[in-house]
Amino acid sequence: MYAFAPDPALSKPDLYRELAEAAGALVAGEPDPVANMANAAALVWQFVDRLNWAGFYRMVDGGLVLGPFQGKPACIRIPLGQGVCGAAAARGETQLVPDVHAFAGHIACDAASRSELVVPVIRDGQVIAVIDLDSPEPARFDSEDAAGIELLASAIAAAI
């Protein structure tokens, strides 16, 4: 049994460090990438507050395909370069969007989403997936959140 309990008194950097360590422990020795993404998505949901969606889009045949997640049903396929997830995958760069309505080409899978953070998962120099976090709060994410999810992406890249 896994019992990970984030301490709400931790600073954001420490909380994300614990999240990355917990994810690393869960994926260690497990060869199935879907199981590893599922556990990582569940941990993000547990550790990061004020989200309405948290999960993965996987790179498949030159585009993004929905992977394990927590939240409402989501868009299944996203072409590279489209929406926040497609931009992160195409550029290989984190996308921190304080107001999704101001992001040209935003794809609204959940109308309640107001801000978004998308971090590419890179292995051997290639984007293999993105971690997507949505919040119903405008400007929910900041640079500490981005750095924390980037740490998570690095911690699990080899296992997905």
For the chain, domain boundaries:
12-159
- Evaluate if residue 129 carries a pLDDT over 90: yes
Read off the pLDDT band of 25 (50, 70, 90): very high
Let me know: does 51 contact 45? Beta carbons within 8 Å. yes
Q: How many CB atoms neighbour CB 28 within 10 A?
A: 9
Fold annotation for 12-159: Beta-Lactamase (3.30.450)
Average pLDDT over residues 146-155: 98
- Evaluate if residue 78 carries a pLDDT over 80: yes
Residues 48-65 have pLDDT tens digits of 999 999 999 999 999 999
The Cβ-side half-sphere exposure at 124, using a 13 Å CA radius, reads 4
- Evaluate if residue 1 carries a pLDDT over 60: no
In the DSSP assignment, the letter for residue 128 is E
The whole-chain average pLDDT of the chain stands at 94
Read off the pLDDT band of 101 (50, 70, 90): confident
pTM: 0.95
- Evaluate if residue 22 carries a pLDDT over 80: yes
- Evaluate if residue 127 carries a pLDDT over 80: yes
Q: State how far Cα 128 lies from the chain centre.
A: 13
Let me know: does 115 contact 137? Beta carbons within 8 Å. yes
- Evaluate if residue 116 carries a pLDDT over 80: yes
- 56-to-1, 8, 14, 70 alpha-carbon distances in Å: 24, 25, 23, 9
pLDDT value at position 5? 82
pLDDT value at position 6? 87
pLDDT value at position 96? 96
pLDDT value at position 105? 74
- Evaluate if residue 108 carries a pLDDT over 80: no
Distance from C-alpha of 120 to C-alpha of 57, rounded to nearest angstrom: 9
